[in-house]
Each structure stands twice: as structure tokens, then as C-alpha cells.
Amino acid sequence: MIDIQNKPQVVVIGGGPAGATVATLLAQQGVRVELFEREKFPRFHIGESLIPETYWVLKRLNMLPKLKDSQFIKKYSVQFVSDSGKQSAPFYFHDNKDHDCSQTWQVRRSEFDEMMLRNAEEHGVKTHEGVRVLDVLFDGDRATGIQIMDENGEKQEVYADVVVDASGQSSLLLNKLKLKVPDPSLNKGSIWTYYQGAKRDAGRDEGATTVLQVENKKGWFWYIPLHDDIVSIGVVGDFDYLFKGRGSHEEVFAEELERCPAAKMRIEGAQQVTKIFATKDFTYKSKQASGDGWVLIGDALGFLDPLYSSGVLLALKSGELAADAIVEGLKKGDTSRQQLGHWEPAYLVGMERMRKLVCEYYDGFNFGRFVRRFPDHRGDITDLLIGDLFKDSLDKVFESIATMKTESEAMAE
Ligand code: FAD
């Protein structure tokens, strides 16, 4: 039997960034919370590049001193290389905000996620690793708890006022309640690996994320410098393009590198140090973020194409918003759908801004050209890239992108 102490007020499914965030912030505010993670940490995970707006949640979590003391590479900018090999001027985050928060980190996720989980424990969260959540229990429409299974196969039920699903792309509740809405316009996949001894820029550009377009804009590579001289490099493209009627993942990865000389040049002479990884489940969201007694956060709520490295930010942000809504609800004795998910509409508007910027990129949007045409928008573009998504003024960027498209079409005629 797994030792569950007092009847928890909240149970959290999953110990990734979303789960660790919600649990820590709940415990900080005096809520009895137990977290269940099927793996034993450290465990591998993709998603290594943070964006600056994570700063504010990390601050609340008391994670900043740990990150500042870590070996994680500091990230000051993001840069784009077009399919012709032309590199735009880097978007330096401090151009907009001359503040600590304008620098962020490239993290090895096994280490970052473990730090986050141990930090949750330090704040009073009771964690259970190696314990899989099999199901969420309901009484009518109200979630009442979870069924768990330990490593010996022993099953147990745990009851709580609120169930938080932070199970990532396993999306336990999304699947159980059939809430998944796929996004056919972003039906992508990815193949990636890790190299040691690859090229990296010097000084403050050392930790830049570089996004490099593949020939004919068929896809793009991420290039993320990590510590210990490791670089994470992966290609993203349409699902059919990458996976249908082509060879093994290894062959496709090598072919795509040939189509992206700027990426290939960066790893020349370097040594591949892991196997090739692949994932195919891209971009979806849930029909709703909450119900009576339950709430979804992070990838369990929705997943957006990783072009702008927004996943961990969205996991942290939704974890924060859910935690505050739960605390408020427990105080009022209200754990209804409306209370637990009152943050959802504003959150979705922000997420949609990031989604639109992703779609524009796939539609041929060129950052360098755009800021030359609309220099006043340079700051807004940087705001979007750092994840400062929740302000209406940013919508003007999309109007200007539409103007630029109309101008290009007129010139082409
Ligand atoms: P996860 O990190 O997936 O955590 C969920 C946890 O739940 C896992 O530890 C899992 O073991 C556990 N779990 C699942 N099911 C159960 C169960 N039944 N019982 C108990 N535990 C369970 N994001 C970025 O910010 N930057 C990037 O550069 C970036 N690049 C990416 C590249 C690719 C190819 C992909 C696919 C994603 C990328 N992401 C990136 C997104 C990022 O990986 C996710 O958005 C982020 O990990 C979401 O955090 P989470 O806590 O919601 O889920």
C-alpha cells in the first residue's frame, strides 16, 4: 500500500513542469497536495529551451536561485536562418526588458524536471514516483479522486476535493472524456538527436536557440546548445512529409540535414551521442480546461507546435493559474467547473496568439523582412517570442502581417 497521509485536498497526476508547478504553489498556500508520477526521476524528456516569461512563475516557485546556480546554459536570444541560409539579426530579449527576466536557460529536462519536483517536496508536496494513475474516479459529473497502481501492481483509490491532470501528452482525462480537438493545420512530427562538440556561437549568443529553415520551407531544424558541450538538434515538418513513404527515422534525419546546409555545417566534425528520437502527436487542445472537481494543465490541456519553445511556459502558466483558482475555490467551498477554470478564456487567447505566429511561419513569414517593413513592431515580435502573450496590443502585429501579405500579393501580380 502506498502511504497516503491525511486525506489530500488535491491530487496531481504527473510530475513534469505543469504538475510540479501547481503542486508547489498549492502547498505554498497551505493546501494538502499529493502528486503521483509514473516514472522515477530523473527521466528523459524533450523540450529544452525555456523562454523568458517563465521567469515570473519560476520566481514564485523559488526556483530562480537554483537555476542561477545550475550549469544550464544562459539564453539571451533567438535567431532565424532562412532556407537560403540568410540569418536574421538575433532577437535579444533584453532589447525589450532590461531586467533579470530577459535572460533564460537552455535546460536538460531530466535535470530541470527533477529540480522542480524536489523543489515541490521542499515546499511540502508529498510526491510518489513510480506510481501510475490508472483512472480518474467520478461520482456523476464530479471527479472525486484517482485510482493508482504501484510498481508491484497493487491498486488503490485516493479521494480528494480536486483532481489536477498534468499527465502531459498521455492526457488521461482528455482521452477518457473524449475532449481532444486536433489541429489539422498543424499536423506535424519531429525527429531529433544530440551531438557533442558541435559548433556554437561565442559570448551572449552561445545559448541562442537557432531556428533553421529546410530547403523549400519543407520544415525547420531547432538547434539548442546545452551544457557539457551537447547540442539538441531536431527537424519538424508535416507529418506526411516526414513519415510517409520514406525510410527509417535515421535516414530521414540525414536527408533533411542535407536539405539544410546551415544546420549540417553546425554539426560537422561533432559526434552523435544518443539514438534518434521521433514524435508524431502534434498540436491539439481540450474542449474544456475544467469540470466539477477537475482541471487540466500543461500538455494535458493542450499542446502547441514547438517552433517558439512555448511548451514549458504554458505548462508553468497554466499550473500557476490553476493553483490560484483552486486555492480560492477551496476557501469558498466551491470546486465547480466555473471556479476551477475561470482563467481559461484569457489563457486560450494568449495561446492562440502563439499559435497564429506559428501558422504565419509555416505560411512563409520572414522575421527579418517583417521588422524591416514594420520597425515599430520589433518590440511586439520580441514580446511574442519571450512569451508575453497576454496583452491585446499584440493583435496589431497580426494586422500588419496581413497588410504585408496583401502588399506582396499585389507586387507579385
Ligand atoms: P510533461 O513534461 O510531459 O510531464 C507529464 C508527466 O506526467 C510525465 O513525467 C509523465 O511521466 C507523467 N505521467 C503521464 N501519465 C501518467 C500517469 N498515468 N500516471 C502518473 N504519471 C503520469 N517546450 C519548451 O518549452 N521548449 C522547447 O524547446 C520544446 N521543444 C519541444 C520539442 C518537441 C519535439 C516536443 C514534442 C515538445 C517540445 N516542447 C518544448 C514542449 C514540452 O516538452 C512540453 O510542453 C512540456 O514538457 C509540458 O509539460 P507538462 O508538465 O505538461 O508535461
In this structure, the answer to whether residues 122 and 34 fall within a common structural domain is yes
**Ligand 1 mean position, distance from CA 307 (Å):** 15
User: Which of 228, 244, 279 is the endpoint of a domain?
Assistant: 279
DSSP states along 105-138: EE--HHHHHHHHHHHHHHTT-EEEET-EEEEEEE
Q: Are 241 and 259 in contact (CB under 8 A)?
A: no
Number of domains forming the structure of the chain: 3
Cell digits of residue 208: 541562442
Which residue, 222, 219, 202, 218, is CA-closest to 210? Answer: 222
Pocket flag, ligand 1, residue 299 (CB < 6 Å): yes
357 in a domain, yes or no? no
Amino acid at 54: T
Q: Are 96 and 386 in contact (CB under 8 A)?
A: yes
**Ligand 1 mean position, distance from CA 22 (Å):** 15
380 in a domain, yes or no? yes
Q: Which helix (H) or strand (E) holds 277?
A: strand 277-279
Q: Are 39 and 270 in contact (CB under 8 A)?
A: no
- Of 21, 312, 321, best ligand 1 pocket probe by most atoms within 8 Å of the beta carbon: 312
Q: Are 282 and 7 in contact (CB under 8 A)?
A: no
In this structure, the answer to whether residues 202 and 245 fall within a common structural domain is yes
In this structure, the answer to whether residues 205 and 259 fall within a common structural domain is yes
Exposure class string for 310-323: b at 16+ Cβ within 10 A, else e? bbbbbbbbbbbbbb
Residues found in the chain = 413
**Ligand 1 mean position, distance from CA 113 (Å):** 10
In this structure, the answer to whether residues 118 and 60 fall within a common structural domain is yes
Question: What is the structure's pLDDT at 209?
Answer: 97
Closest residue (by CA) to atom 38 of ligand 1? 47
User: Which of 256, 279, 302 is the endpoint of a domain?
Assistant: 279
ipTM tops the 0.85 cut: yes
Would you tell me how many other CB atoms lie within 10 Å of the CB of residue 400?
16
3-state secondary structure of 214: coil
312 HSE (CA, 13 A, CB side): 29
Q: List the domain range (segments joined by +) for residue 372.
A: 365-412
In this structure, the answer to whether residues 37 and 174 fall within a common structural domain is yes
**Ligand 1 mean position, distance from CA 38 (Å):** 13
214 in a domain, yes or no? yes
Cell digits of residue 135: 483512472
In this structure, the answer to whether residues 167 and 43 fall within a common structural domain is yes
In this structure, the answer to whether residues 176 and 192 fall within a common structural domain is no
Whichever domain contains 51, its CATH number is 3.50.50.60
User: Which of 321, 347, 373 is the endpoint of a domain?
Assistant: 347
Alpha-carbon distance 378 to 367, whole Å? Answer: 9
Whichever domain contains 265, its CATH number is 3.30.9.100
Which residue, 230, 236, 164, is CA-closest to 198? Answer: 230
In this structure, the answer to whether residues 265 and 402 fall within a common structural domain is no
37 in a domain, yes or no? yes
Alpha-carbon distance 111 to 169, whole Å? Answer: 20
Which residue, 180, 202, 360, is CA-closest to 283? Answer: 180
pTM value?
0.97
Q: Are 39 and 168 in contact (CB under 8 A)?
A: no
Alpha-carbon distance 12 to 145, whole Å? Answer: 10
According to DSSP, the residues that pair with 235 across neighbouring strands are 191, 221
In this structure, the answer to whether residues 136 and 42 fall within a common structural domain is yes
In this structure, the answer to whether residues 215 and 298 fall within a common structural domain is no
What is the Cα 264 distance to its own chain's centre? 26
**Ligand 1 mean position, distance from CA 411 (Å):** 44
**Ligand 1 mean position, distance from CA 169 (Å):** 6
Pocket flag, ligand 1, residue 106 (CB < 6 Å): no
Question: What is the structure's pLDDT at 408?
Answer: 87
Pocket flag, ligand 1, residue 13 (CB < 6 Å): yes
Pocket flag, ligand 1, residue 147 (CB < 6 Å): no
Spell out where 124-256 has E strands: 126-129, 132-139, 142-149, 155-159, 162-165, 180-182, 188-196, 209-213, 219-225, 230-238
Alpha-carbon distance 390 to 387, whole Å? Answer: 8
Residue 165: phi, psi to the nearest 5?
Answer: -95, 110
115 in a domain, yes or no? yes
Question: What is the structure's pLDDT at 138?
Answer: 98
Closest residue (by CA) to atom 12 of ligand 1? 14
95 in a domain, yes or no? no
pLDDT along the chain (413 residues), means of 10: 84 98 98 98 98 97 98 96 89 83 96 98 97 98 97 95 98 97 94 97 94 94 98 97 95 97 97 96 91 98 96 98 98 98 97 96 90 93 94 94 92 83
**Ligand 1 mean position, distance from CA 228 (Å):** 23
Alpha-carbon distance 295 to 165, whole Å? Answer: 6
Pocket flag, ligand 1, residue 211 (CB < 6 Å): no
Pocket flag, ligand 1, residue 315 (CB < 6 Å): yes
In this structure, the answer to whether residues 37 and 169 fall within a common structural domain is yes
Cell digits of residue 13: 497526476
3-state secondary structure of 104: strand
**Ligand 1 mean position, distance from CA 210 (Å):** 21
355 in a domain, yes or no? no
89 in a domain, yes or no? no
Pocket flag, ligand 1, residue 37 (CB < 6 Å): yes
In this structure, the answer to whether residues 310 and 169 fall within a common structural domain is yes
Would you tell me how many other CB atoms lie within 10 Å of the CB of residue 271?
10
Nearest atom within ligand 1 for CA of residue 190:
34
